[in-house]
Amino acid sequence: MTTATGTYPLVTLNEFIIQRQGDFPYAKGELSRLLHHVGVAAKVVNEKINKAGLVDILGAAGDVNIQGEDVQKLDLFANHHFIAALRATSECCAIASEEDQEITLFDDGLSRDAKYVFCMDPLDGSSNIDVNVSVGTIFSIYRRISERGSPADLSDFLQPGTHQVAAGYIIYGSSTMLVYTTGKGVNGFTLDPSIGEFCLSHRDIRTPRQGRIYSINEGNYAHFPAGVKQYMKHCQVVDPDTHRPYSSRYIGSLVSDFHRNLLKGGIFMYPPTQKAPGGKLRLLYECNPVAFIAEQAGGRASDGHRRILDIPPESLHQRIPFYVGSPDMMEDLEGFLGKEGDSSPA
């Protein structure tokens, strides 16, 4: 493939998915078609985001979602188009979205017999759109456990993260990338606007064992657990042997912060605080898919004590503390959190 910047071997997302179908002997193309439609929805949302300053799509929509957060117009747009794209596949029987209180059932004949359910945060970090900061979509896919041919139910979604068959995110930034895993490594695809296709750009992503970036909202420092405060001080100490101090980088969009740390090495932290003693990020829509990707790339993810993927979900919109990143940095952090009383909000 020849572009304005040179020549590169072209492998599109669809070609790559088809090539990897053999990784799933139980599948007969359903998962491939589902992932294809995720890519289609991502292109639609990407186009709207790129025009955000030119059309009436910026700002709050005047509603509050189940999380008690102001809904942005682009949240609604992304939620609608991902649901529409997945409904069209007939390979998904239900969707759980951060924006909706209840699951969305696809109850027509073909969809009711589908194998998969889909969890998503349709537009992570959408409040940053107004100031032109990168945002993203996070998703995960599970095989249903309810009987095929019947309506899906809540049990299909309340599965531990170890049961995910695929997870990924789309980052809408200076370029648009789709990164996903099916448990066979992590691969990234960059949208080539000249042909309108996601093309393989980051094959077999591996995160560095040790990074030099820590990402946390330091404005909440006074309310963090003692162990997190101690780890932050550890990151700031001058120690040439361990390449400290580390750099503090925080965007406020999980997808953006995690994507940077995944590629460069680092740690992302969202601990409990006095305002959110149970944590802020959602287990199903954010933590599980990001943790799956992190582990497949050689990283780790925990709530400070437990592996994220082992945590049994208790409700659709469950929140937890979340730490994810390079394995050596995670080990250091958990050493500080392991001290008695050092993982509870100050």
pLDDT in tens, the chain (346 residues): 444 445 557 899 999 988 887 776 666 688 888 999 999 999 988 988 877 554 454 445 445 555 555 555 788 888 998 999 999 888 999 999 999 999 999 988 788 899 999 999 999 987 776 777 889 999 999 999 999 999 999 999 999 999 999 999 999 988 999 999 999 999 999 999 999 999 999 999 999 999 999 999 999 999 999 999 999 999 999 999 999 999 999 999 999 999 999 999 999 999 999 889 999 999 999 999 999 999 999 999 999 999 999 999 999 999 999 999 999 999 999 999 986 557 677 6
Strand-strand pairing, 319-320 and 186-192: unpaired
Of 246, 245, 249, 272, nearest in space to 259 by CA: 249
Look up residue 24 and give its two tokens: 């799933």
* Cα-to-chain-centroid distance, residue 196: 23
d(CA 295, CA 187): 13
3-state SS assignment for residue 206? coil
Per DSSP, helices labelled H in 219-326 are 226-236, 254-264, 288-296
pTM of this prediction? 0.91
Distance in angstroms (rounded) separating the CA atoms of residues 339 and 346: 14
Residue 183: both structure tokens together: 């448990």
For residues 311 and 161, is the Cβ–Cβ distance under 8 A?
A: yes
* Omega of the bond leading into 277 within 30 degrees of 0 (cis): no
CB-count exposure of residue 26 (10 Å: 0-12, 13-18, 19+): exposed
How large is the C-alpha radius of gyration of the chain? 20
